Amino acid sequence: MVAAGGSGEEFCLNTIEEVSAALEVEVTDRASFENPGSGGGCSYTDADGGPVYAISVVIGDQAAAAFDAYRQLEGAEEISGIGDAAVYSPINEIPGVAFSKGGATYGVAGPARLLELPISDDPAALRSAVEELARQAAHRA
């Protein structure tokens, strides 16, 4: 589980190589951030500095409500094999996965720019890629 009060690097639960391979784009950097007391996240960027993928983490009292919010999104559906519970929850056609593990809620998705990547021409492949990134992240969470 992600600990409160850490350095923030623990929010980067996928490697640059994993994100590059899954999304079929060269990811060159990742940057973590912390929201003290409530979680944090990690943003992954390509060679142009554009964001292509992100992880958000909610801890503490807000974690359960955050997971419930993902469950209530239009188009959300339960998926198995990721964390303690997981839901595929697209937001404005952008595929995303939220999972709970160890009392925290994790959201993995991309920004709108994700829909500009070549992999987005195959929505099933894009969804599969995001689910696999969530699965990898859950193993490290």
Tens digit of each residue's pLDDT (9 = 90 or more) over 59-95: 999 999 999 999 999 999 999 999 999 999 988 889 9
pTM of the predicted model as reported, rounded to 2 decimal places: 0.91
In a domain, 3, yes or no: no
| CATH number of residue 20's parent domain | 3.40.1000.10
Residue 79 sits at φ, ψ, to 5 deg, of: -130, 160
- Answer yes or no: are the C-beta atoms of 25 and 127 closer than 8 Å: no
User: How many structural domains comprise the chain?
Assistant: 1
47: DSSP letter = T
User: Which residue range(s) make up the domain with 25?
Assistant: 9-140
Fill in the DSSP letter of residue 5: T
pLDDT reported for residue 118: 93
Note whether residue 114 is domain-resident.
Answer: yes
Identify whether 2 is part of a domain: no
More confident residue, 114 or 14: 14
